[in-house]
């Protein structure tokens, strides 16, 4: 009986530890708005329910927190200039997702993205990046909190709209509200990394991607900008800031 009790106790404690591990491995995202205007974050999940029901309002100075399960992958972006009625129907000047508050798809480019693949059964590392591949609409940064490993900051602190070339500008009421990617502006293989330019060897940085990279060194500037842009971390939570003041 004593032997049985000891075995049962070991199994019981193992199960508790296992449950604790699952609980601890959930990842918390904190989104905060340091902009002088309201941002409507959109979210999209590749393998589970969208966090924050797909979209919500984030007034200046406010924050919101959401938990993602192990193995979660998805993205967040900021929508600007939005108006929604009580049913959640409306539109956004930038980053719109089919005219609804709660997105079920991605945001219309140009839009600044933060992308994640959280550790799961196949990997013990999180992968994350801030991407300008689809253009830029609002400054965005992500910081790992409490993790181990490389865990570097990723983001675009600079307001790219102020120096956006004329041919890439998106205008609204006489103001620059977003900056297109060269792919969106010209739709040619050398800018989109398609056709004969569909490999890392044949798709090189361009004057436009280099402009993005010089302004925002820790963000993706074009499709094959992996080496200097993808971040990794283990066991971290993440702080996502719109209009960050520093990296």
Name the pLDDT band for 25 (thresholds 50, 70, 90): low
Please report the pLDDT score of residue 15 as a whole number. 47
Decide if 224 contacts 200 (C-beta within 8 A): yes
> Is 87 part of a structural domain of the chain?
yes
Domain that holds residue 40: 27-160+218-242
- Within-domain flag for 192: no
Model confidence at 247, pLDDT cuts 50, 70, 90, reads: low
Q: Considering the domain boundaries, does residue 203 fall inside one? A: no
| Of 34 and 121, the one with more pLDDT | 34
d(CA 212, CA 98): 27
Domain annotation covers residue 172: no
38: which 2 tokens?
């309201």
Of residues 167, 186, 188, the one with CA closest to residue 176: 167
Cβ-based burial of 183 (10 A; exposed 0-12, middle 13-18, buried ≥19): buried
Nearest CA to 53 among 119, 97, 117, 111? 97
Please report whether residue 186 resides in a domain.
no
The CATH number of whichever domain residue 104 belongs to comes to 2.60.110.10
Which has the closest alpha carbon to 111: 92, 98, 97, 94?
94
pLDDT at 79: 98
Q: What is d(CA 25, CA 111) in angstroms, rounded to the nearest whole number?
A: 30
Q: Indicate yes or no: pTM above 0.75.
A: yes
| Distance (Å, whole) CA 74 – CA 129 | 11
- State CA 242 to chain mean position distance: 11
* pLDDT at res. 21: 40
Position 22 pLDDT exceeds 80: no
Q: Is residue 207 part of a domain?
A: no
Position 50 pLDDT exceeds 90: no
Is residue 143 within a helix (H) or strand (E), and if so which, with residue range? strand 140-145
Confidence of residue 3 (pLDDT cuts 50, 70, 90): very low
Q: Give just the sign of the alpha carbon dihedral 133, 219, 205, 175.
A: positive
Number of independent structural domains in the chain: 1
> pLDDT tens digit string along 105-120?
999 999 999 999 999 8
Mean pLDDT value across residues 166-175: 97
- Rounded to 5 degrees, what are φ and ψ at 194? -125, 175
Token pair recorded at residue 66: 């959401």
With bands split at pLDDT 50, 70 and 90, how would you rate the model's confidence at 244?
A: very high
Question: Measuring CA to CA, which residue among 27, 30, 17 is closest to residue 69?
Answer: 27
52-99: pLDDT as tens digits: 999 999 999 999 999 999 999 999 999 999 999 999 999 999 999 999
Comparing CA positions, the residue from 28, 35, 247, 26 lying closest to residue 130 is 247
Residue 24 has pLDDT above 80, yes or no: no
* Assigned domain for 17 exists: no
* C-alpha to C-alpha distance for 179 and 164, rounded to whole angstroms: 6
The answer as to whether 122 is a domain residue is: yes
Look at 3-12, 51-60, 219-228 and tell me which has the smallest mean pLDDT.
3-12
Q: Rounded to an integer, what distance in angstroms lies between the CA atom of residue 110 and that of residue 96?
A: 10
């Amino acid at each position: 009986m004593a032997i049985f009790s000891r075995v049962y106790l070991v199994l019981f404690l193992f199960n508790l530890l296992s449950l604790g591990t699952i609980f601890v491995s959930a990842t918390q995202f904190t989104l905060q708005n340091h902009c002088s205007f309201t941002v409507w974050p959109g979210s999209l999940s590749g393998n589970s329910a969208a966090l924050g029901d797909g979209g919500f309002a984030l007034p200046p100075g406010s924050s919101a927190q959401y938990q993602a399960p192990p193995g979660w992958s998805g993205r967040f972006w900021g929508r600007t200039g939005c108006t929604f009625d009580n049913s959640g129907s409306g539109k956004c000047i930038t980053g719109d997702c089919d005219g609804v508050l709660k997105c079920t798809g991605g945001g219309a480019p140009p839009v600044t993205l933060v992308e994640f693949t959280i550790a799961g059964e196949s990997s013990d590392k999180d992968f994350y990046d801030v991407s300008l591949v689809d253009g830029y609409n609002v400054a965005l940064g992500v910081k790992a909190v409490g993790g181990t490993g490389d865990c570097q900051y990723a983001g675009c602190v600079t307001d790219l709209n102020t120096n956006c070339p004329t041919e890439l500008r998106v205008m609204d009421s006489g103001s620059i509200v977003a900056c297109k990617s060269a792919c969106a502006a010209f739709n040619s293989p050398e800018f989109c990394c398609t056709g004969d330019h569909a490999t890392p060897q044949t798709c090189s940085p361009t004057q436009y991607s280099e402009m993005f990279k010089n302004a925002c060194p820790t963000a993706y500037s074009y499709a094959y900008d992996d080496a200097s842009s993808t971040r990794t971390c283990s066991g971290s939570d993440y702080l996502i800031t719109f209009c960050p003041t520093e990296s």
